[in-house]
Amino acid sequence: MPAPLQVAEKEAETDRKRAIIEASKQSEVAGIRNEMAVQEKASKKRMAQIEGVAQVGLACADSNATDEMLRAREKARVDAEFYSMQKQAEANKVRLKAWRREKL
């Protein structure tokens, strides 16, 4: 049977290991939270820059990503306008054909 001193030493060692593991976990969690906070702050800053540039309508010369986003946004707007005009033209053709049939 182990001596009470050995049992106490093993329990103390186990407690130290648990404390080390817990501290390691907390450190990792803190590091992850810190990284998330940094990324969130960077994202907010980037979004503010993009919105600011979009409102002014000018592209920043130092940011290719912003330029690409503005081009993509403008292209989407132009494509939507083209699609709308194309559908309007098709509808006008149908109306014109119907009007011509009525006249004959």
Domain edges within the chain: 1-58, 64-104
64 or 63, greater pLDDT: 64
What is the pLDDT at residue 83?
94
Q: What is the largest CA-CA distance in the chain?
A: 115
What is the pLDDT at residue 63?
63
Alpha carbon distance 17, 11 (integer Å): 10
The pTM of this model reads 0.42
Q: To 10 degrees, what angle do helices 64-103 and 4-56 make?
A: 50
Alpha carbon distance 96, 69 (integer Å): 40
What is the pLDDT at residue 59?
44
Taking 60 as the threshold, does the pLDDT of residue 24 lie above it? yes
Q: Left, alpha or beta for 97 (phi > 0: left; psi -120 to 50: alpha)?
A: alpha
